[in-house]
Amino acid sequence: MKHLPSAFQISVIVLAVASVFSFYAEASDAPVIIVEGEKSVFSISLEKENTVTPDSTELLNGMAGASVVKNGPLTGFAQYRGMFGQRINTVIDGATHTSGGPNWMDAPLHYAPASQVSNIRIYRGVSPVSSGQETIGGSVIVETKSGEFVDSTEAILSGEISVGGETNNNATMVSVLVTVANKNHWLNVKGLGEQADDIEFDGGEIMPTEYERNRIDMGYGFRFGAHKIEVVGGRNETGDAGAPALPMDIRFVDTDILKGKYTYQGDGFVVESLLFANDVEHLMSNHLLREAPSNTMSYRTATATGESQGGKLVYRSEVGRSFEVGIDVLQSEHSTDVTNPNMPMFLVENFSEAIRDSVGVYAESNFELSDMLSLEVGIRANHIRMDSGEVSVSGTMEMLRSIQNFLMKLI
């Protein structure tokens, strides 16, 4: 798709919003954030003011040391104790999602809409080596609402619907989860539709802050004896979405997601294997959602593609002095082309088949030293390989001639 960004610009937008009325209806309890610290584990309910929050990074606000980098309504990512971006390990339902945009317009939490989040676990400071390959800035572990087995031989139908709206940007949100399950099977369908216009305030609009996102997921689980198999696939389609803190806005982000998991529950131990993949197509521009540049030579459209595949194999002992050993793999590839719709010959191959492959092995164990004291010990080794194809620039002579003609008219 494209490269994984190394730097970000943070803009703080102070808004004066008058007479905001919002309504929100939720068919189940609010999600819960679990913060794991050096000593204690505690939970915080996410029952906030009635508002529609499409970006799940908003759920992190209020955590000690945690903050959010907001580049737009759908482009937030976590910041913890000054570290952000790839320094914060983010895992969604066991999988690591690769961003499609070079500016992280579709950051990992973009694929965990707030209305579909079940809980978020934050490892503060140094994270367990089992939580991810690169965790220098901590880890954010997200679980979304999904199907579950039930203690019944008969099929049981269950469902959940969330509906919300706001008047200051005409926002609407509908999220639906339907599950059919018994003790050996579960099948579920999950859908989301949300949209909003630019935010209004007493005096104008904040452009561009509109957004649109639709998503559908289907999953199936099968349990027989000590074995359990789960397969989940989804499609995320993000339409026009502003990113006022960045040079460009989202025209679309189309992402296909696939995940499969196998679990064997032995006598005092568990073996888990996980495979996942995502494929992203992303288009952004600086002239369609925001005020276009006065000079047509400054128009830019960027087309980015990316894909990733990964997996994890784990053995976990659950008796006596528990321990876990595992191996995990992640492969990603990114490409980005920049064009000008007014200059057909202009092309910048910004990234060309940039790859990043990583393989890690780890071991981890927990020791109860006393009733009041425990110790977690882990070791991890990662091997990372990066490479890229050749990049190029074309059409610059046409741009220079246009500049020359413009200057000649001024003489």
Pick from 245, 234, 330, 255: nearest CA to 100: 255
| pLDDT on residue 304 | 96
pLDDT digits (tens, 9 = 90+) for 65-82: 778 888 899 998 888 878
Instruction: Please tell me the predicted confidence (pLDDT) of residue 409.
Output: 63
Residue 76: predicted pLDDT = 87
Cβ contacts of 224-228, under 8 Å, gap ≥ 24 = 224/184, 226/264, 226/265, 226/266, 227/262, 227/263, 227/264, 228/261, 228/262, 228/263, 228/264, 228/265
Residue 183 is encoded by which pair of tokens? Answer: 């003790």
Task: Answer whether 286's CB lies under 8 Å from 293's CB.
Answer: yes
pTM, two decimal places? 0.83
> Which residues of the chain are modeled with pLDDT < 70?
1-52, 62, 397-411
CA–chain centroid gap for 369, Å, is 38
Q: What is the 3-state secondary structure (H, E, C) of the chain?
A: CCCCCCCCCCCCCCCCCCCCCEEEEECCCCCEEEEECCCCEEEEECCCCCCCCCCHHHHHCCCCCEEEEECCCCCEEEEECCEEHHHCEEEECCECCCCCCCCCCCCHHHHCCHHHEEEEEEECCCCCHHHCCCCCCCEEEEEECCCCCCCCCCCEEEEEEEEEEECCCCEEEEEEEEEEECCCEEEEEEEEEEEECCEEECCEEECCCCEEEEEEEEEEEEEECCEEEEEEEEEEEECCECCCCCCCEEEEEEEEEEEEEEEEECCCEEEEEEEEEEEEEEEEECCCCCCCCCCHHHCCEEEEEEEEEEEEEEEEECCCCCEEEEEEEEEEEEEEEEEECCEEEEEEEEEEEEEEEEEEEEEEEEEECCCCCEEEEEEEEEEEEEECCCCCEECHHHHHHHHHHHHHHHC
Instruction: Compute the distance between CA of residue 239 and CA of residue 346 in angstroms, rounded to an integer.
Output: 25
User: Residue 321: what pLDDT?
Assistant: 78
Residue 400's identity, in one-letter code, is: L
Q: Say what the pLDDT of residue 368 is.
A: 82
147 — phi, psi (to 5°)?
-80, 155
Q: What is the pLDDT of residue 40?
A: 41
From 205, 370, 367, 195, select the one nearest 291 (Cα to Cα): 205
The two tokens of residue 265 are: 């529950």
Question: Which pLDDT score is estimated for 404?
Answer: 63
